[in-house]
Every structure is written in structure tokens, then in C-alpha cells.
Amino acid sequence: MKQQTSRKPMDEREKLRKFRELDDAFAEALRELESPDSTLDIPTGPPVRSLEAREQDDKTRQQAFEERLKALMSEYAQPAENVSDLLQTLKELGRIA
């Protein structure tokens, strides 16, 4: 015997209630936009950083990666050639960019 999972269709009252909530929220947003003294809190995304700041972050991340890689190579006694082969294989397999 199959188990039936039927969704109860939304009744007309519920649809009307949800529509009113949406309409009220939209009307409030319009009022805020039209108000001359409103201080809107509109999300604009992450702050824009300068190219210089991004390049510095990239250098810092690269240095941290290199230090960690050297520590791992030392800890597991792996020569640079083996690590290079491993990284090349991972790159070819699409595991790293």
C-alpha cells in the first residue's frame, strides 16, 4: 500500500491573508522610499575594497599557504618534487585550480 503525501491546498482565506501581508509590506517600503527624512537601511552588499587591499590579502594568503605547505612537507618528510607531482596531479584532476 502506497503512502500518499498530499499537500493541503491553501484555502482562499489563507491566500488573501498572505496577499494582504505582502501588500502591506510593499506599501510600507514605498512609504519609506518617499519619505524625505528617512534613513534607509538598504543592503548594498559587501564593502568595496581597493585593488591594493585585495592584492595584499592575496599575498598574505599565499604566504600563509606556503608556510603551511613547508611545515607539512617537513612534518611528513616529503621532498619538494613529490609535493610538486601531487599538486600537478590534483590540478589535472580538477581538484584544485
- Average pLDDT over the chain, rounded to whole? 83
Mean pLDDT of 42-71: 85
Mean pLDDT of 72-96: 90
Share of the chain above pLDDT 70, in %: 82
Give the residue numbers spanning the domain of 69. Answer: 51-92
Q: 58 versus 96: which is more confidently predicted?
A: 58
Q: Give the Cα separation of 74 and 67 in Å (integer).
A: 11
34-51 pLDDT, tens digit per residue, is 776 666 666 667 777 788
Task: Kindly report the pTM of this predicted structure.
Answer: 0.44
Counted domains in the chain: 1
Residue 65 included in any domain? yes
Residue 61 included in any domain? yes
Residue 82 included in any domain? yes
